[in-house]
Structure 1
Amino acid sequence: MNIEFIEALDQIEKEKGISKEILLEAIEAALVSAYKKNYGTAQNVKINIDRATGEVKVFSQKTVKEEVKDPLLEISLVDAKKINPLVKIGDIISIEVTPQKFGRIAAQTAKQVVMQRIKEAERNIIYEEFAGRETDLVTGTVQRFDKKNVIIDLGKTEVILPPNEQIPTETYTPGDRLKVYILEVRKTTKGPVIVVSRSHPGLIKRLFELEVPEIYEGIVEIKSIAREAGSRTKVAVHSRDENVDPVGACVGPKGARVQAVVEELKGEKIDIIKWSKNAAEYISNALSPAKVINVEIEEDSKIARVLVPEHQLSLAIGKEGQNARLAAKLTGWKIDIKSPKNG
């Protein structure tokens, strides 16, 4: 190794933020193993890399003894004094034993260590960037498939969209641009693993924050979300400012804001509901688009008995019970729907 190698380490320190000294110490430790592997010795060896020139030297470290029992690990006081007249019994003395062709082994080992440390540092940078970003919204490109997982490229790293977080009705094609919700960031020996979702209700919240300034600014608040991903979602909203209509703010001019969210979700239907602290009013709103005649509340059992016109009954219940099911999930009430005829 030479001065160019030391200069390369200086460059790595600047660009990657990896300490040159830490790299050199790691290379020295790896070279000890490489020396023992290649020269099959039981000596105590120490490697020294000159910090200015990059020159590598191998030193055998021996203990100064009156009587030598193991010449690989010990040296007599008489022989030691030939190297350093000031040594005494018990001292450790270093004797250079650098093999003639050790430079090639040193260069290969150093390259491996540096590459490994760069990879580790880059993994740590990615982990640090994404740690604590659970619940964030990110945009990526569908890259490939790993079994049933969809691998999405975010530019700096790849994230995993597992089958249980995919929208059942969606098909994913390499090159597709998608917004995804960060579910989990964890550190592993192979680097950070970032799991994302397309089906989580949190994705709806983040998409509306993106499209509706009033939500982002905290004027309009999303109180609850009930979602059957790929099919239908109900969102309950409330305004902290009586002059701002929360439903109108989310729908946007000519429906533009809610339409942008629907398009991102490939056509998932979205009902925006006005939240109310009055349970009966809230449940009535939640059953939209059906019109409700009356809501009777049973506080103790958390049951709401809802009366709707005969012609609105199937609309209130919804296809396969979806409308009623989502309204119950949204409000936290068990909802029993009847019409005057069958009531």
Structure 2
Amino acid sequence: MAARATTLVVVVLLALSLAASATSAAVNKSCVTGSAGAAVSIGYGGARASAGAGVSLGEDAYRAACPRAEEIVRAAVEKAVAADPRMAASLLRLHFHDCFVNGCDGSVLLDDKPFFIGEKTAVPNANSLRGFEVIDAIKAELERACPETVSCADVLAIAARDSVVASGGPSWQVEVGRKDSRTASLQGANTNLPAPTSGVATLVQKFRNVGLSAKDMVALSGAHTIGKARCTSFSARLAGVGVSAGASKDLPFLQSLQQLCAGSAGSALAHLDLSTPATFDNQYYINLLSGEGLLPSDQALASSGGAFVPGADDVTSLVATYAFDASVFFQDFVESMLRMGRLTPGGGGAGEVRRNCRLVN
């Protein structure tokens, strides 16, 4: 226990030192609240935001056409998370995996059909993505309330926000107005999404490929403060990949993971955040400074080798800043979620509002 206390003191001192030198985020005009306490000031980039490809997103697209839309989504998400706390992370992940492949267009929800292969069987998604039945239930109720009005892509964006809130995290106004794609990209899902073994340089490049920054990458990685991962996802971590500079401090954590995974054939599940597994907070970053990031791609953010990428933000300093101040993390996370939510297909296709999220109309 004494050794553990000493480690925590060192972590806090490191966070204080690095946070003092970090540049504070700009304050803008809207507010978001969360479990960190006082309201966090953020900006939304104006009343409406251009998402590219002729799509204009706003906060009131359904105010008249489907006034109960957000209420319907929120109630369903709260029910699902109450029954299975892990579902919050699963729904948040669905939105992420959707947006990183040809933009936020609901393509991740399409089922395979004869002569059509969707994204569900891609390596990062197969036997991994979950929560489709929750989206199905939400869409069915929305179709009863206001047929062919709320897109599946918007359902994913709203459900992601409500999953964060249901786990004690910040709230924000979701920009809506997306259309659903009639196509999907198996290749895009296989190549665009970061792998759990990715290093910092790869992570930064994956985010830059879709127009997001290194800072967005560090902030959105904080979503790993909730949810679970299979042993197969962090087996490289057990082999020493992503071990931090003070490697000895990682050993008790890694030994506990080895015990969990032994004899499970890789199917056992571990919490991404062992300390507060069902709470959306900044504990993820504290864990990284303690050498207790679960995935190699997580721990790499706090490791000395490769923490600096030419032209990128100081990744390690951001980790320390977020570990020290949950309100800064919440603010940056929300801003990055909004930026990610504005990613749209580059082809400029008109899209549609699907009646069934698994099928094109």
Please identify the structure whose Cα radius of gyration is greater.
1
Whether these two folds match at TM > 0.5 is no
- Structure with more contact order per residue of length (Cα contacts < 8 Å, sep ≥ 6): 2
Which has a greater percent of helix? Answer: 2
**TM-score, normalised on structure 2?**
0.20
Which has a greater percent of strand? Answer: 1
**TM-score, normalised on structure 1?**
0.20
